[in-house]
Structure 1
Amino acid sequence: MEYKLIALDLDGTLKDSNNQITPKTREALIQVQKQGVKIVLASGRPTAGLRHEAKELMLDQFGGYLLSFNGARVASAKTNETIYEQTLTVEDAQKTYQRAKQFDLACMTYKNDMIYTEDIDDEYVCLEAKINDIHKNKVSSFIDILENPIHKVLLTGKPDYVASIEAEFKKPFGDSLSIYRSAPFFLEVMSKGIDKATSLDRLAKSLNIKQEEVMAFGDGYNDLSMIEYAGLGVAMENAVDGVKQRANMITKSNNEDGIAYVLSQIYKGVEY
């Protein structure tokens, strides 16, 4: 099978435990792009949080894509043009904020490639800014700055506390929103039905690429949908068991250049 589109999760997949893309993995991905394969970085991060990795892999030069907010937006790495997006309404974001205050959760969203929050000193807000290398902006009223497009509202709290209140927090929303923990201290709120597979499918169709021509690499539960969707779904050796069980293949870990290992077996000129 000729795979024309490769989707890559970042943390635990593309990047090693030192938060780096290793030279071997980078070279392998450059080589497949030279053969016309399109690369899409697929992450829960905001679009701005993918810019360093996109530049390192030369996605702007090769015409790659950025699937951010777990699929709420897909954009061209070269032009930043939006290919697909599904956003929260201002009303839903307001309701999320009001619910967050009832549970004493810090609340943030993204605008102009920056974080906006009332809780600028919250340790997990600071962590989110550091992970994505983006600035924080303190606002006096979170509700007053809400305007479309709103791709995600992120809530934070101590891990044990977030785990204990997650089910209760969700009750008023029913199935109208996608709400889940992406990390022990993060509670993500997005439009209903958002996942990596749905957005990856939209991108593939826009490029006239068949589902069976898509390859996806991942390690976490938020990667499961695209692992199952792809013609070749690859789990890293360090992936959670649920992803390994549903993948077509298990490769070496993110610290052992697992991506390069698979690509070397499929594409000519790629070394491991």
Structure 2
Amino acid sequence: MITITKKLIALDLDGTTLNDDSQISPQTAETIRAAARQGYIVSIVTGRPNRLSENFYDDLKLETPMINFNGNLGILPHQEWNREYQYTIDKEIVTELLEKSKPLGLSLIAVEGRDMFLANRGLNTGFGFFPSSLKTNQVLSRKSLKTNPISITVQVEPELKQGLINFVEQQFGDQVEVSPWGGPHPIVEIATKGVHKSTGLKFLADYYGVLQKDIIAFGDEGNDLTMMEYAGTGVAMKNAIDKIKNSADEVTDFTNDDDGVARYLQDHLDIAVGQ
């Protein structure tokens, strides 16, 4: 009897599966769909909330669980699932940030859950992640925040960024950890302490019975590090930051803008596209 080894392909979105226009190219989409048809378990593992990743999940025609908020949420999109999990933050931390927003230099406080988005204001330069204007039921206040959120995202004045990080770590460091975003935006994300993309990847591996050595994980930024270290094969994008490239098992020959994931899969896993 021949046993077919299960392999899990974990895909980061931004800077990895998505090109620089935040889209999935036709070649990348078809290659990933072909991998799924050929029996590979393909899952999205992203820092994005589910509200900003389910469209890509649908485009790729995936039926696997999806991991959002850097490992803090695991769902089967568009349906209820008894294995769904989430890690949440005490909403009193949000209240504290709201009360001290001026001295801390916070121009934006946004909180999210699987089916929740609240913010203290819209953001004209939302760089695709936050709406420019809020609906009445999206305005953040002590009264409107009824449940504990999964994630807190704040925009802080650049010169006060380190002060905010110090404040959160001193006041709530036993409950949460602070992760500044990469890139030019003075954005800081706050989430449950000790939960990372590797948390979600281990959940997927356990769910499917996949060994670590049979996991391939793609990434480009600092939040991908734990996932790539957990995987048997951590693949850094050609456009990845040096820290990720230096810790990866392999680096793609092409960037996210040149179908780096698709070309790697076709070359290394013998994915037959167009069948």
Give TM-score scaled by structure 2 length.
0.85
The 3-state SS of whatever aligns with 1:123 is coil
Q: Which residue of 1 aligns with 2:257?
A: 255
CA displacement, residues 213-235 of structure 1 (integer Å, 9 cap, x when unaligned): 21110000001110111011000
Could you tell me which of 89, 106, 109 is aligned with 1:107?
109
Q: Which residue of 2 aligns with 1:56?
A: 59
Q: Which residue of 2 aligns with 1:166?
A: 165
| Superposition pairs of residues 234-253 of structure 1, within 5 angstroms | 234-251=235-252, 252-253=254-255
Structure 1's 269 and 152: CA in aligned 2 closer, same or farther, altered over 3 A?
closer
Structure 1's 73 and 135: CA in aligned 2 closer, same or farther, altered over 3 A?
farther
What is the CA RMSD across the aligned residues, in angstroms?
A: 2.6
Q: Given that residues 100 and 155 in structure 1 are in contact (C-alpha distance below 8 angstroms), is that contact kept between their aligned partners in structure 2?
A: no
Q: Which residue of 1 aligns with 2:228?
A: 227
Q: Which residue of 1 aligns with 2:92?
A: 91
Segment of structure 1 superposing worse, 163-172 or 229-238? 163-172
Structure 2: runs of 5+ lacking an equivalent: none
Deviation at 1:125, TM superposition (A): 5.2
- Distance between the aligned counterparts of 2:110 and 2:271, measured in 1? 45
Structure 1's 136 and 209: CA in aligned 2 closer, same or farther, altered over 3 A?
farther
- Distance between the aligned counterparts of 2:223 and 2:30, measured in 1? 26
Q: Which residue of 2 aligns with 1:35?
A: 38
Structure 1's 137 and 152: CA in aligned 2 closer, same or farther, altered over 3 A?
farther
Question: What letter corresponds to residue 118 of structure 2 in structure 1?
Answer: Y
| Superposition pairs of residues 185-204 of structure 1, within 5 angstroms | 185-204=186-205
Alignment length (residue pairs): 265
Q: Given that residues 16 and 255 in structure 1 are in contact (C-alpha distance below 8 angstroms), is that contact kept between their aligned partners in structure 2?
A: yes
CA displacement, residues 126-181 of structure 1 (integer Å, 9 cap, x when unaligned): 75225xxx983356652212233511111113445435643344322234211111
Deviation at 1:29, TM superposition (A): 0.4
Question: What letter corresponds to residue 146 of structure 2 in structure 1?
Answer: E
- Distance between the aligned counterparts of 2:133 and 2:36, measured in 1? 32
Q: Does 1:65 align with 2:65?
A: yes
Deviation at 1:11, TM superposition (A): 0.9
The 3-state SS of whatever aligns with 1:128 is coil
Structure 1's 150 and 169: CA in aligned 2 closer, same or farther, altered over 3 A?
closer
Question: What letter corresponds to residue 48 of structure 1 in structure 2?
Answer: R
Q: Which residue of 1 aligns with 2:134?
A: 136
Deviation at 1:12, TM superposition (A): 0.5
Q: Which residue of 2 aligns with 1:210?
A: 211
Q: Does 1:154 align with 2:156?
A: no
Could you tell me which of 8, 13, 33 is aligned with 2:11?
8
Q: Does 1:267 align with 2:266?
A: no
Structure 1: runs of 5+ lacking an equivalent: none
Structure 1's 30 and 45: CA in aligned 2 closer, same or farther, altered over 3 A?
same
Q: Given that residues 218 and 234 in structure 2 are in contact (C-alpha distance below 8 angstroms), is that contact kept between their aligned partners in structure 1?
A: yes
Q: Given that residues 108 and 125 in structure 1 are in contact (C-alpha distance below 8 angstroms), is that contact kept between their aligned partners in structure 2?
A: no
The 3-state SS of whatever aligns with 1:228 is helix
Aligned identity (percent) is 28
The 3-state SS of whatever aligns with 2:130 is helix
Give TM-score scaled by structure 1 length.
0.86
- Distance between the aligned counterparts of 2:117 and 2:243, measured in 1? 32
